[in-house]
Structure 1
Amino acid sequence: MAELSAGRQRQLEQLVERLGLPSTAKVQWSLLDLALTHVSYSAADNYEQLEFLGDAVLRLFVAQHLWVNDRNDTVGQWTAVRSVLVSDRVLSKIAYTFGFERFLLVAPSAARDTKGETSRLANTLEAVIGALYLSTHDFELVAPWLKPELEQQAEQVRSDPTYQNYKAALQQWTQGHYRLLPEYRVEEQIASQTPLSRFSAEVWLQGECLGVGTGPSRKSAEKAAAQIAYSKLSAGYVFEPVIESLPGRDD
């Protein structure tokens, strides 16, 4: 692997500063550089292998956190919380918070692919986790900045009876009360100012729009719309489905 230029070295040092790590942190700079190199920029040297490793490290980190802090919960509850914490939506949000996109080496053609930005940022975060873990072979360089972010997200998940699986909760509600399935209508917002609201989704139930949400992906936008609809219905909103008369029947 080529030696880092002075400019690239300074960029990586700035990212480490953003993460709140000390200047004396034992970072393997070549690994961090690799973690911030997209496959479109270099087919030979890129973040894919570090992403693979970082995914495993992240899951271990989350599992250990749940073991220490949520021993009274069931494995099913742990699984529900973990699924949210390791999702592309949460990981890309964390990456965006620290400005990872400013340090990622990516080809112009891939950078213009805004549809893939959420997964790209999530993958980058996992790769950075992998690089920092390999630098010390423990969580020394990972925990200080990642733990507060994940704790905040975990608290939101635990306080939600649906564990943020709003699409499933909404479907269960509509089927149980009305024997109907919700319909999602999604549009890409070309003029969106931020990738976090790239898509807009509406959730409909037999001709009535019950919720509108936005997100960096179609799935996340649908989830945001489902959350609004579920909250609306569970709070007591009365939905009155249209009952169509059978042909030839006079009531």
Structure 2
Amino acid sequence: MTTEKRQKELKSLIEKLGLPANSPVDWGLLDLALTHSSADRKQNYEQLEFVGDAVVRLAASEVLLETYPNAPVGEFTAIRSVLVSDRSLAALGDNYGLDRYLKVAGGAVTDRNGRQSRLADAFEAVLGALYLSTHSMDLVRSWLDSVLLSHAKKVRQDPAFYNYKDALQEWSQGQYKIRPEYRVYETENNHNPTERFTAEVWLRDRYLGTGIGQSKKAAEQAAAKVAYLSVNSQVKTPTSGVVMGNG
């Protein structure tokens, strides 16, 4: 049972999403969607996140199919993987100020490294709560469609659909029948969480570029971007360099 104060807070979030304050929202579910496990080990957003993961994938799939009916399925898959990634969902959670509404406790309050996953998970949980409120997509697609479409248009304009590792591997196997090699190092004496790892990408003994990121995966993706853009004439870049990556 949500308190009157909490329900007022949640209504302000609903309005931020572009929904009317009197929308048929299950406020108890929405409150649960914004409760981290650090605040309550038993009653938290984990199950709603599970539902929300399916909801956002379905919404993204429908938006892509309706907007680009003649696009190949492979393109749908590549774009959707970006739209539903933790990085994208965390950015949306940040844009809607979920931090303000999210209940956290203990070390999670100051855990900067875990912020992205918390925001992404909470955003999915909110979608799950909205879906289960009516058991339909009515409270989701009315505002989420335009957000997904805007992001999808940007992804389609990117030469690698934001997935430079796959694009670089496709190029290297097509040209040389080998895969790129990533050498990842933990950045020493650096307390900036966005620069925790440095990755170099090599093709046999040929150095292609360096990337920096807050995770090994992000650093590799950043390095792959340098390499991919350097070997493709679509974008003019130096033959090697450093790119920052998030993820």
Query: What's the C-alpha RMSD, in Å, of the aligned pairs?
Result: 2.7
Contact 1:115 1:217 in 2 (8 A): no
Query: In structure 2, which of residues 83, 89, 113 is the aligned counterpart of residue 91 of structure 1?
Result: 89
Q: Which residue of 1 aligns with 2:161?
A: 163
Q: Which residue of 1 aligns with 2:192?
A: 191
How far is 1:237 from its partner? 6.3
Contact 2:24 2:133 in 1 (8 A): yes
Q: Percent identity?
A: 43
Amino acid at match of 1:26: P
Counterparts of 1:101 and 1:114, CA distance in 2: 12
Q: Which residue of 2 aligns with 1:17?
A: 15
Query: In structure 2, which of residues 196, 200, 204 is the aligned counterpart of residue 203 of structure 1?
Result: 200
Contact 2:199 2:220 in 1 (8 A): yes
Contact 1:37 1:104 in 2 (8 A): yes
The gaps in structure 2 that reach 5 residues or longer are 241-247
Amino acid at match of 2:198: A
Q: Which residue of 2 aligns with 1:181?
A: 180
State the number of aligned residues: 233
Q: Which residue of 2 aligns with 1:136?
A: 134
Alignment of 1:19-58 (within 5 A): 19-58=17-56
How far is 1:34 from its partner? 0.4
The gaps in structure 1 that reach 5 residues or longer are 241-251
Q: Check 1:184–1:157 CA distance in 2 against 1; reply closer, same or farther (3 A cut).
A: farther
The structure with the largest alpha-carbon Rg is: 1
Q: Which residue of 2 aligns with 1:124?
A: 122
Indicate the SS of the match to 1:185: strand
Amino acid at match of 1:139: M
Q: Check 1:130–1:102 CA distance in 2 against 1; reply closer, same or farther (3 A cut).
A: same
Counterparts of 2:162 and 2:39, CA distance in 1: 36
Deviates more, 1:116-125 or 1:29-38: 116-125
Amino acid at match of 1:190: H
Indicate the SS of the match to 1:9: helix
Amino acid at match of 2:182: E
How far is 1:18 from its partner? 2.0
Indicate the SS of the match to 2:66: helix
The TM-score with structure 2 as length reference comes to 0.81
Indicate the SS of the match to 1:162: coil
4+ long deviations beyond 6 Å: none
Q: Which residue of 2 aligns with 1:74?
A: 72
Contact 1:187 1:199 in 2 (8 A): yes
Contact 2:201 2:220 in 1 (8 A): no
Amino acid at match of 2:18: G
Indicate the SS of the match to 2:137: coil
> Residues 18-68 of structure 1, C-alpha deviation per residue, up to 9 Å, x if partnerless?
222222222211110000011221122111111111111112111211221
Indicate the SS of the match to 2:113: helix
Q: Which residue of 2 aligns with 1:151?
A: 149
Alignment of 1:199-238 (within 5 A): 199=196, 201-205=198-202, 206=205, 208=207, 210-214=209-213, 216-235=214-233
